[in-house]
Structure 1
Amino acid sequence: MRVFITAGEPSGDRLGAALMAGLKELVPDVTFRGIGGPLMQAEGLDSLFDMDEISIMGIGEILKEYRHLKARIRQTADAVVAERPDVLVTVDLPEFSLRVARLVKAVSDVRVVHYVAPTVWAWRPKRAEKMAAHVDQVLALLPFEPPYMEAAGIPCDFVGHPVVMEPQATTDQVLAFRARHGITGEMALILPGSRRSEVGRLLPIFAQVAHQLHAMRPDLRMVIPAAGPVAATVRAEVANWPGAPLLIEPANDPDGLDKRAAFAAADVALAASGTVSLELAAAGTPMVIAYDMSWLSRQIIGRMLRVDSVTLVSLVSETRVIPEFIGAKCLPGPITQAIGAVLDAPGAQQLAMDLTMQRLGRGGERPGLRAARAVLDRLPTGKPLH
C-alpha cells in the first residue's frame, strides 16, 4: 500500500505520525511519501520539503506568502498525481491541504482523506459543502464533528485525539525536574504557539505579562517550552524577561522528558489557542488562553465566528471555566489578573479537563490506530486490506 500524507505544523506532525504507526501495524508493507516533520519522518516518511515552509496562519500572513504557498501547493499536487498512491491523507492546515486536494481531484481519481474536520461548527459552515467535491472522507478529532460533515455529504469518522495517548510525567519525574532547575515555589508555563506568525504576534504581549507577573508574584518561576521552528525567536525574546525564565528547546530535550515534566509540574499555563489546551488538560494543568491576529483577520473572523469560545477544552467539555482573551481582548493586564486568579483557585478547571479527556477517548484504542482502521475500512473496494 502506498500512502501520500501531508502535514504542516507540529500538531499535524503528531497526528500524521500516529496514523502512520497505525497503518504500519495493520498493513506491514505500507510506504509513505509527502510532507511532514521529524515524527512523521521517524515513521518512514520521505518528505518533499521542510513542513515549516507552509506553517502559516492568518489571512494577512497567507496573503503575504501567497506566491510561495501557491508554488508549494502545485508542487505537492503534481507529486501526488505522479505517485498515484492508494490514498492521499491531508492532515489539518486546510488553507494548504484542501487546495492540494482540489488540484489532485481535478486530474485524477486518487482517494482523498482529510484528517481533522474543519471547524465548520465555529465559522464558515459552507466549507463542508465545498469540500465534498474533492474530499472522500474526513477523520474527526472531536466527538461532535461527524454530523456537520455528513450533513454536507462527506463520510466522517470520529477517531479520538492522540493527545489522550501521549505519555505523561510521573510524580518522580516532576519532583526531579523541579529539583534540577531549582523551582521550589509556583511555576507558570508560557506557551506562545508553534507558528512563526502567531509567535511573532503573541510574544510581545506575553513579554508584558511576564513582567507584570514577576512584579505581582516575584517568586513565580516561568518556564517556556519552545517549538523547534520558533525556538530561536523565543530564545531571543525571553532573554530579557525577569525572574530567570527557563527555556526548554527540542534540541536540548530530544526525548521530550523535560517538556512533559514541565507540563505536569506547572501550577498554571498561559497558552496560545489551539491543540496545546488539550495537552495541558491531559497533564491536568489549569490554563489561561490568549490569542491575537492581524487587524484584517480580526475583522473577518470576528464577523463569522459562531461559537462563544475557541478553547477546545471548553468546547469538548461544554463548560466555560477556562479564561480566554481573544483578538482585541488579548491585553497584558487582564491576562495577568486571570493567571493570578487561576493560581489562587487552581481546582476550578479539573472537572472540565477530566471530562475532555474522557470524551476524546482516554482509556480506549489508540486514536492513531482508530484512524488507520477508518481509512482502510472505507477504501473504494469495500474490502479492508487488514
Structure 2
Amino acid sequence: MSELEDVKPFKLFFVVGEESGDQLGAEVIKALRARIGDRLEVCGLGGERMAAQGVQSIFPLHDIAVMGITAVLERLPTIIRRVHQTVDAVIAEQPDLLLIIDSPDFTHNVAKRVRKKAPHIPVVDYVSPSVWAWRPGRAKKMAAYVNQLLALLPFEPDAHKRLGGPPCDYVGHPLIERLDDLRPASGERAELGEGKKQLVVLPGSRTSEVSRLLEPFGKAVELICAQDPDVEVTIPAVPHQEQRIREGVKSWNVQPRIVTGEAEKFAALRCANAALAASGTVSLELAIAGVPMVIAYKLDWFFRRLKQINRFIKIVAVDTIVLPNLVLGDYSIKEYIEEEANPEALSKGVLALLSDSPERQAQLDAFSRIDEKMRLPEGESQAGKAARIILKTAGISD
C-alpha cells in the first residue's frame, strides 16, 4: 500500500430503512474501523446505533420505517420525497461507495436513481431481497445497479447465480453468532416424558400476522391440550404486540404464559419441546435452538389477490417458504399456508412433534446440520467478512 493510499479517506454512504439495518450498519462501521481506522468517513441515513458510530442521519429513520401495504400507502408521499432527498444527498457527497442495507422497497429505489445519475459510485447491497421466494425476476434487474451483494443465508449466492443476479457472497447470519443465547444449557430443556411438555406459540411480530394467526393458533392449542393435558403453552410476544396478544388470548380456553423481550423469548425457546409459529426469521431461531416446529402463513388481502392471478404471472420461485428447509435443503418442517393453516391440521402437526415420532426425529436430524451450513470459517465474523468485501469492491486493500 502506498503512502498516499494510506492516508486517503474512504467515504461510505449508508442507506438503511429500519432498525435491523441500523444494527447491521453499526457493526460494519466497527469492523471497517478495525481495518482502516480513521480513514473511514461515514454519512447517510441511519438510526440510533449508527448515530453512535458517527452517522448524522439526513432525516429520522421513522419517516420511512413502515411495514405492510396499508401503512406504506398512507405514508407514500413522504416516502417518495425521502427517496429523492436521499439520492440528492448521495450525489452531493460523492462517496467512494454506497451501502444499502435491507428494506429493498426504499433502498433499491435510491440505488437505481444513484446509478443513473452517478454510475461511477459502486453500490453494495447488504441483505438480499427474497428473490428466491418471491418475484425471481428482480435478481437480474438488480445486476444493473448493484455491484456486490452480501447475503445472510448460505443458499442465496447460488440462487442469484441461477437467476442472473449480481455477484453475491454469503457473509453469515447474526443468529449463528448467538448460539449461547439460543441453545439450552444442561438440564434447561426437559426430555419428553420428564414433566410437562413445553410448547411455544409465536403468532408473529407484525399486526397483520397476529390478527390473522392468533385465532386459529388459539383453537389449535385448545385441540392440542384436549388430547395431551401435559402441555404447557408460552407465547413470546414482541413488546409492540403484547397488548394485542393479551387481549386476543382472553377468549382462549387454555390460557398461555406470555413473556416479552428478546431475553425472555430466547429463554422460552431453550426450554421448548415444540413450536407453532408464523413463517419468518423465527423459524431459523427455532432450528438453531433445536425446537421442532409447525409453520403457518396466511397472506394479507393484497398478496391473496396476487395469488389468485399467479397462474398468469410467475411470482413464486420455491416450493417452501420455511428458511431452515431452504438452508438445509430439507423439507422436514411442515408448512401450512392459507386454508391449510386451520386448527385441526395445525394441532395434528404439533401433536406429532410432542411425541417420539418420525416427524420429530426428522427435524432434529436436520437441525444437527445447521451449524456446518451457516457458520463462517474460524475467526471470521459476519461484520468482518462484510467489511472485507466492501473494501474490496471499492478497490481498497487493507
**CA positional deviation for 1:314:** 0.7
Per-residue deviation, residues 176-203 of structure 1 (Å, max 9, x unmatched): x99xxxx951112222222333333333
Per-residue deviation, residues 302-341 of structure 1 (Å, max 9, x unmatched): 7221221111111121111101012332222211221111
| Number of aligned positions between the proteins | 372
Q: Secondary structure at the match of 1:113?
A: strand
The one-letter amino acid paired with 1:354 is S
Match of 1:22 in 2: 31
Match of 1:101 in 2: 111
Q: Contact 2:28 / 2:384 at 8 angstroms: preserved in 1?
A: yes
Aligned-pair identity (%) = 38
Q: 1:313-332, aligned counterparts within 5 Å? A: 313-332=324-343
The one-letter amino acid paired with 1:358 is E
Q: 1:45-60, aligned counterparts within 5 Å? A: 46=56, 48-51=59-62, 53-57=64-68
**CA positional deviation for 1:140:** 1.7
Q: Contact 1:6 / 1:97 at 8 angstroms: preserved in 2?
A: yes
Match of 1:353 in 2: 367
Match of 1:160 in 2: 172
The one-letter amino acid paired with 1:28 is G
Question: Which ranges of structure 1 fall in alignment gaps of 5 or more residues?
Answer: 251-255
Q: Contact 1:221 / 1:244 at 8 angstroms: preserved in 2?
A: no
Q: 1:223-234, aligned counterparts within 5 Å? A: 223-234=234-245
Q: Secondary structure at the match of 1:285?
A: coil
Bigger drift between 347-356 and 198-207 goes to 198-207
Aligned match for 1:141, one of 152, 166, 181: 152
1:383 aligns with 2:385: no
**CA positional deviation for 1:290:** 1.0
**CA positional deviation for 1:25:** 2.8
The one-letter amino acid paired with 2:256 is P
Q: Secondary structure at the match of 2:319?
A: coil
Instruction: For 2:56 and 2:203, locate their aligned partners in 1 and report how far apart those are by CA, in whole Å.
Output: 30
1:297 aligns with 2:303: yes
Greater Rg over alpha carbons, structure: 2
Q: Residues 63 and 257 (structure 1 numbering): CA distance in 2 closer, same or farther, change over 3 Å?
A: closer
Q: Residues 276 and 14 (structure 1 numbering): CA distance in 2 closer, same or farther, change over 3 Å?
A: farther
Q: Residues 258 and 374 (structure 1 numbering): CA distance in 2 closer, same or farther, change over 3 Å?
A: same
Match of 2:3 in 1: none
Q: Contact 2:47 / 2:60 at 8 angstroms: preserved in 1?
A: no
Q: Residues 198 and 66 (structure 1 numbering): CA distance in 2 closer, same or farther, change over 3 Å?
A: farther
Q: 1:55-94, aligned counterparts within 5 Å? A: 55-57=66-68, 62-63=72-73, 65-94=75-104
The one-letter amino acid paired with 2:293 is M
Bigger drift between 93-102 and 79-88 goes to 79-88
Question: Which ranges of structure 2 fall in alignment gaps of 5 or more residues?
Answer: 1-9
Bigger drift between 39-48 and 314-323 goes to 39-48
Instruction: For 2:17 and 2:246, locate their aligned partners in 1 and report how far apart those are by CA, in whole Å.
Output: 22
Instruction: For 2:298 and 2:207, locate their aligned partners in 1 and report how far apart those are by CA, in whole Å.
Output: 13
Instruction: For 2:351 and 2:21, locate their aligned partners in 1 and report how far apart those are by CA, in whole Å.
Output: 32
Match of 2:5 in 1: none
Q: Contact 1:214 / 1:242 at 8 angstroms: preserved in 2?
A: no
Q: Contact 1:160 / 1:367 at 8 angstroms: preserved in 2?
A: yes
Higher relative contact order, chain-length normalized (CA < 8 Å, sep 6+):
1
Q: Secondary structure at the match of 2:84?
A: helix
Aligned match for 1:115, one of 121, 126, 135: 126
Q: Secondary structure at the match of 1:139?
A: strand
The one-letter amino acid paired with 2:97 is V
